[in-house]
Amino acid sequence: MAAQTIDESAEVLDENFEEEIVLENHERAGKVVNKYIPFCAGAALIPVPGVDLAAITGIHVKMIADISKIYGIPFSEDAAKNIISSFIAAAIPSSMGFGLTQIASSMLKVIPGLGTILGMGAGAAFAAAFTFALGRVFIQHFESGGNLITLDPTAAGEYFKNEFNSAMADQKSGDKKS
């Protein structure tokens, strides 16, 4: 009887410990995403077309590497870049209602003066929302037991679009995503 109670207590403690680890990882990963949002928005302000996109992609790769490390997931830079590209394709139709896409805003910067200013502003908003949504997808996927190889951008596309649209709407209304 006492042995059964000890076993039951140990099982409850193990479950509570696992829940705490999951919550701790979720919180840490959320902080990583929030850390990289302003870096990506800032990189979008680079006035040279194409250089901004390369900088943002590099920041996204680093963010994914950091989130992977939190969850103990093996990281592959090539896999991360392929996934990022897939989500860019998913974000383009979603962003049309909010203004320019990252690629279009980068190309707008070739127009001196107003084009540069408009491209930088639209690009920063897009980059921030994209970074938030991308981070949320990876957190959700890793918490469900997935890894970089098993992440299917098509399957995660709806969640990504919802997070992206929510972040864009929050920016328009002045709310800050966390």
Q: What is the pLDDT of residues 57-78, one digit of tens each?
A: 999 999 999 999 999 999 999 9
Structural domain includes residue 105: yes
Structural domain includes residue 178: no
Structural domain includes residue 86: yes
- Highest mean pLDDT (candidates 11-25, 80-94, 100-114, 127-141): 127-141
In this predicted structure, the answer to whether residue 100 has a pLDDT above a threshold of 50 is no
| pLDDT tier for residue 164 given thresholds of 50, 70 and 90 | confident
Structural domain includes residue 73: yes
Q: Which amino acid, residue 116?
A: T
In this predicted structure, the answer to whether residue 175 has a pLDDT above a threshold of 60 is yes
Structural domain includes residue 63: yes
On whether the CB atoms of residues 176 and 37 are closer than 8 A, the answer is no
Domain that includes residue 43, residue range:
2-173
Structural domain includes residue 76: yes
Q: How many domains does the chain have?
A: 1
- Please give the pLDDT value at position 3: 53
Q: What is the pLDDT of residues 11-30, one digit of tens each?
A: 544 555 455 666 789 999 99
Structural domain includes residue 7: yes
Structural domain includes residue 129: yes
Whole-prediction pTM value? 0.75
